[in-house]
């Protein structure tokens, strides 16, 4: 059987077309965002919507709760969908909702989106006050039940503190090194060293604002960056978290950035113009292009085993270790 292919972050406008493209690209699992600024009840409605998708497309997708679910999906020619939250808003101010969200299938939760949350500081705030009192307790509860701490949109101090506070390795599911491209959401060498030293995972983002030269970034340049990252921190800590937002209308960018907290447009990263989705690089338009990415990794010198790890094997190992209850 071919090596596993896993994308550890997408927020597409889900459809049968996209699910069929996942199968065409060989995707065995996709970590799908099910909430940005939603309340708990609204997040439950999004889970209901996914239940309908699983009912309508049982030949294409299946719920993913464990690493073994990903293996079964591979064997059956389906894609396992792993739920994640890009903001802690669904747990509101109730720590008990961490366990309930896990029971509903949530396996990743960011402690912040771009703003300050009840748990930690987002990467767009001027002052990073670190992980809060509530945040410390939520990290411990996430560790206990088997929900991964994700710091993709969090600020530097908060991220370093979360890495240190968590008894289990954390993830940055969709970002790139800041030493390659200094986007506000990309991560410093200090963060990446702390992350990987503790067994955590970095998922490389293909969102153009996170890429050197944006939509014009070449496959070669992207894969050379991955090779440099592997040289610094070890290839076993690396995977893909494409941040693919396929077929979403530009209005969704406003929801992602503004939520309900702002009456004015938050222009965010990459542009002084009204927010919208930039064009994807020509070599990564949708899920059918994952084999092209694997070819690019081999072309810059990765072995077959290293390529297999980055394309999905490393995430699968991380899922095995992270999605169940904490053991003594």
Residue 241 domain flag: yes
Contact between residue 227 and residue 300 where contact means Cβ atoms under 8 Å apart: yes
Report yes or no on 328 lying in a domain. Answer: no
Rg (CA), the chain: 18
What was the pLDDT predicted at 273?
Answer: 52
Flag whether 237 is in a domain.
Answer: yes
Which pLDDT does position 23 carry in this prediction? 98
Q: Tokens representing 313?
A: 């094997």
For residue 327, is it within any domain?
Answer: no
Contact 109, 85 (CB under 8 A): yes
Torsion (CA) 234, 112, 86, 311 in degrees, nearest 10: 0
What is the domain count for the chain?
Answer: 1
In a domain, 265, yes or no: yes
Measured distance CA(251)–CA(275) in Å, rounded: 8
Query: Please, what is the Cα angle at 63 between 103 and 37, to 5 degrees?
Result: 60
Helical segments of the chain, H only:
16-24, 40-56, 67-76, 96-103, 133-145, 156-165, 189-197, 219-233, 251-258, 290-299, 304-308, 314-322
pTM (predicted TM-score): 0.96
DSSP H helical ranges for 4-132? 16-24, 40-56, 67-76, 96-103
Q: What is the predicted pLDDT for the residue at 2?
A: 75
Which residue range is the domain that position 72 belongs to?
Answer: 6-322
- DSSP result, 177-225: BTTT---TTSB-HHHHHHHHHTT-EEEEP--GGGSTTGGG--HHHHHHH
Q: Is residue 1 part of a domain?
A: no
Q: Is 53 helix (H, G, I), strand (E, B) or coil?
A: helix
Looking at residue 296, its pLDDT comes to 98
Residue 316 belongs to a domain: yes
Write the CATH number for 148. Answer: 3.20.20.140
From first to last of its 328 residues, the chain has per-residue pLDDT tens of: 678 999 999 999 999 999 999 999 999 999 999 999 999 999 999 999 999 999 999 999 999 999 999 999 999 999 999 999 999 999 999 999 999 999 999 999 999 999 999 999 999 999 999 999 999 999 999 999 999 999 999 999 999 999 999 999 999 999 999 999 999 999 999 999 999 999 999 999 999 999 999 999 999 999 999 999 999 999 999 999 999 999 999 888 888 888 998 888 765 554 445 568 999 999 999 999 999 999 999 999 999 999 999 999 999 999 999 999 998 6
The CA-atom distances, in angstroms, between 63 and each of 52, 258, 306 are 11, 29, 27
């Amino acid at each position: 059987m071919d090596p596993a292919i896993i994308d550890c972050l997408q927020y597409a406008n889900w459809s049968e077309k996209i699910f069929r493209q996942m199968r065409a690209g060989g995707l065995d699992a996709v970590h799908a965002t099910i909430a940005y600024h939603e309340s708990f009840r609204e997040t439950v409605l999004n889970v209901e919507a996914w239940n309908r998708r699983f009912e309508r497309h049982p030949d294409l997708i299946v719920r993913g709760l464990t690493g073994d679910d990903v293996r079964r999906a591979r064997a059956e020619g389906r894609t396992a969908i792993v739920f994640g939250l890009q903001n802690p808003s669904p747990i509101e101010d109730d720590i008990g909702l961490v366990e309930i969200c896990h029971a509903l299938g949530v396996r990743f939760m960011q402690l912040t989106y771009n703003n300050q949350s009840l748990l930690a500081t987002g990467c767009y705030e001027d002052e990073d006050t670190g992980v809060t009192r509530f945040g410390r307790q939520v990290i411990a509860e996430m560790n206990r039940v088997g929900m991964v701490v994700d710091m993709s949109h969090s600020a530097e101090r908060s991220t370093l503190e979360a890495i240190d506070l968590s008894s289990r390795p954390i993830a940055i599911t969709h970002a790139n090194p800041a030493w390659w491209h200094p986007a506000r959401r990309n991560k410093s060498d200090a963060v990446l060293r702390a992350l990987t030293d503790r067994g955590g995972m970095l998922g490389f983002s293909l969102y153009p604002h996170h890429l050197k030269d944006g939509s014009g970034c070449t496959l070669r340049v992207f894969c050379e960056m991955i090779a440099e990252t592997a040289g610094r921190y070890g290839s076993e800590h690396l995977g893909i978290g494409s941040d693919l937002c396929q077929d979403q209308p530009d209005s969704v960018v406003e929801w992602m950035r503004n939520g309900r907290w702002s009456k004015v447009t938050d222009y965010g990263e990459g542009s002084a113009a009204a927010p919208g989705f930039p064009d994807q690089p020509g070599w990564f338009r949708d899920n059918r292009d994952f084999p092209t990415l694997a070819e690019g990794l081999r072309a810059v010198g990765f072995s077959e085993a290293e390529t297999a790890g980055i394309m999905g094997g490393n995430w699968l190992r991380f899922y095995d270790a992270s999605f169940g209850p904490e053991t003594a």
